[in-house]
Amino acid sequence: MEQSVESKTGTRALIETGVFTALYVVVLAVFGQLGALVPILQVLGPLYIPFVCGVPFMLFAARVKTFGQITIMGVLAAALVFLTGQSWVMLVLAAVLAPAADLIAKAGDYRRFTFTLVAYVVFSEMLIGMVVPLFFLRQSFISRIGKRHDSAWVDTLVNLTPPWMFWVMIVMIAVGAVGGAFLGRALTRKHFRPAGLA
Amino acid sequence: MPVSVGLAYTGRPRTHLDPRSKLAFFIAVNTIGLGAAFSGSGAAARVAVTVLLAVLLAAEGAWLWSASAVVVTTVGLMVYAWLPPVGWAMPLVGLVNLMARFWPVVLMGCYVISTTTVSQFIAALRRLHLPASFTIPFAVVMRFLPTLAQESSGISEALRSRGLRLGAVKPHTWLEYRLVPLTMRAVAIGDELTTAALARGLDRTVERTSLARIGFGPADWLVLTAALTVIAIWALAPWTPIDPAAGK
């Protein structure tokens, strides 16, 4: 009987993890699509996507009961993004970053905001996996093509997509994630806690 | 990132491929499509993957999509071979290159999602010995994504009918109006789903059975072998690319 009760809460936690993973992916997709309409949002994507996704994540973190839920969420979300045609890099990153985020949040007992915030920043960095192949492909493209084109042409291309942009994007994700954590906490306090969701 | 399925599939898929071989071929399309070169062994791998993808799509009756895969890869290879990326041609070459890399992957993703039911996916994942801590959330996500996308567009419509556009209200207010109802709905539906799942004994530890028909047939071995061969050839035999601009 005791066994059954335990597996019941375990199943509950697993279903809830699925629900919030779906929510995270839908928010990611809906707001990611805005970038396809407005060009400037494409550039700002690394900043505002983790910002918006902070809402489902922070509410989820407030409801997490067992270690492993954040790990599953990260790996599963990356797997779904992979299924919609993105590169596998994000999946590999998620396999490392999601457990790390889980450990950090657990260190704060899934209660203390500072720990959850750091966990969310670490968690969000897996989004950089989406742009890794773009930069990687371009790098190999440049080195390959540099052999048969004049240096002025190569310079133009390099100037259009400077490699440091990659590092800027990593920082942008971190900044967006910090903002997202605060947004998530604010909305949790204003709406979700009064409604009994957190 | 398309959540809705472009390859509108209603009813039964016409062909029966095992989800595992679909997944293997998906990985092949992903690796080759995004990573392979447009000359030498990369080009050969691209042709092979595109032909098989076109056959799979045609077998489902998706002729237009099938043709689009062939066209995109053909144009991609032709442009790479004959049009050096200089001057006016540079943006065009870049665009064609991007399309030729991403379009097959998008098509394959649509194919996998629209021809596989959730129970088939779960049965296949379980045969791959993935633990319940992965298969249960995965099943929930697959069941949940269409519902949530529907809720999201419903909320969007409700906002529009009240004139609450992104320009009309402040961005953070708009964000709040979009996200809070969606999250509330997600949690509410999730609770119902939990109750339903527990009522059907999802928390039992005995091995579950499934009515989903999965298993390997001749077509599966063909697809699986093709996927592995293409990846192996591309990875292990890097021919020296014939440089189209060398003679110029």
Of B136, B187, B194, the CB nearest to A197: B187
What ipTM goes with this model? Answer: 0.76
d(CA A177, CA A119): 10
* Structural domains present in chain A: 2-192 (1.10.1760)
Give pLDDT < 50 ranges for chain A.
1-4, 37-39
By CA distance, what is B87's nearest residue in A? A153
At residue A102, the pLDDT reads: 92
Q: Which of A104-113, B39-48, B129-138 has the highest mean pLDDT?
A: A104-113
Taking an 8 Å cut-off on Cβ atoms, the answer to whether B184 and A72 are in contact is no
Taking an 8 Å cut-off on Cβ atoms, the answer to whether B245 and A148 are in contact is yes
The answer to whether residues A21 and B137 touch, using CB atoms and an 8 Å cutoff, is: yes
Residue reference for tokens 């194919």: B111
> Is the model's pLDDT at B92 over the cut of 90?
no
More confident residue, B234 or A72: A72
Write out residues 6-65 of A within 8 Å (CB-CB) of B.
7-8, 10-12, 14-23, 25-30, 32-33, 52, 55-56, 59
Q: Is A153 on the interface with B (CB under 8 A)?
A: yes
The answer to whether residues B16 and B213 touch, using CB atoms and an 8 Å cutoff, is: yes
* Mean pLDDT for the stretch of residues B145-174: 85
Helix (H) or strand (E) holding B226: helix B218-236
Contacts of B4 (CB under 8 A, 6+ apart): B149
The answer to whether residues B17 and B209 touch, using CB atoms and an 8 Å cutoff, is: no
At residue B85, the pLDDT reads: 66
Q: Can you list the alpha helix ranges (DSSP code H) found in A64-112? A: 69-83, 89-107
Q: Which residues of B touch A38 (CB under 8 A)?
A: none
Q: What is the pLDDT of residues B72-91, one digit of tens each?
A: 999 888 888 887 766 677 77
At residue B242, the pLDDT reads: 43
Phi, psi of A139 (to 5 degrees): -60, -50
* Mean pLDDT for the stretch of residues B172-180: 86
* Mean pLDDT for the stretch of residues B40-62: 87
Q: Is B108 on the interface with A (CB under 8 A)?
A: yes
- What does the angle CA A18 – CA A24 – CA A28 come to, to the nearest 5 degrees? 145
By CA distance, what is B5's nearest residue in A? A84
Taking an 8 Å cut-off on Cβ atoms, the answer to whether B140 and A88 are in contact is no
Q: Is A1 on the interface with B (CB under 8 A)?
A: no
In order of A34, A50, A96, A124, B151, the CA distances from A28 in angstroms are 10, 8, 20, 11, 15
At residue A2, the pLDDT reads: 42
> Is the model's pLDDT at B246 over the cut of 50?
no
